[in-house]
Amino acid sequence: MSDIDDLTKAEIVALILDKKTEQALDWLSKLYKVDVPQIVVGTIKKKRRTVYAVYVVQEKKIYASSSEIFYNPFVVLHEYYHHIRSKLGTHRGSEKHANMYAQQFIDAYIHVMKKLNQACLKN
């Protein structure tokens, strides 16, 4: 997977938090050169009560259990990882790797925000 710099990761997280999830997914998909997955509110059989969201490879859709999940960067990025894995190679469906991928974005956001806060305090 291509490396994305911390500032870009932070901006993607900020877009999701600002309720611009589709814009974040579009940007990510351009970076990875893959189709943009659709994100919708809904559930699929056997997963209705057990998960916040799920990616369905055949449909290229992220199903979120509620509209609030659209604005949860960790969940959105976790499911996006499954999307890019299905497009860029063998889809292994590793939850551990999807969690690590999402956490990298969250960590970058926290790091960038700390730097911005420190810079503001110095001024």
CA dist., res. 69 & res. 94, Å (int) = 20
Query: What pLDDT is recorded for position 34?
Result: 93
pLDDT in tens, 40-59: 988 776 555 667 899 988 99
Residue 65, domain extent: 6-122
Give the model's pLDDT for residue 43: 73
Output the domain CATH number for residue 89: 3.30.2010
Determine the pLDDT at residue 22. Answer: 95
* Residue 8, both tokens: 């870009």
Q: How many domains does the chain have?
A: 1
Q: 63 near 56, Cβ under 8 Å?
A: yes
The reply to whether 1 falls in a domain is: no
For 10-48, what is each residue's pLDDT tens digit? 999 999 999 999 999 999 999 999 999 999 988 776 555
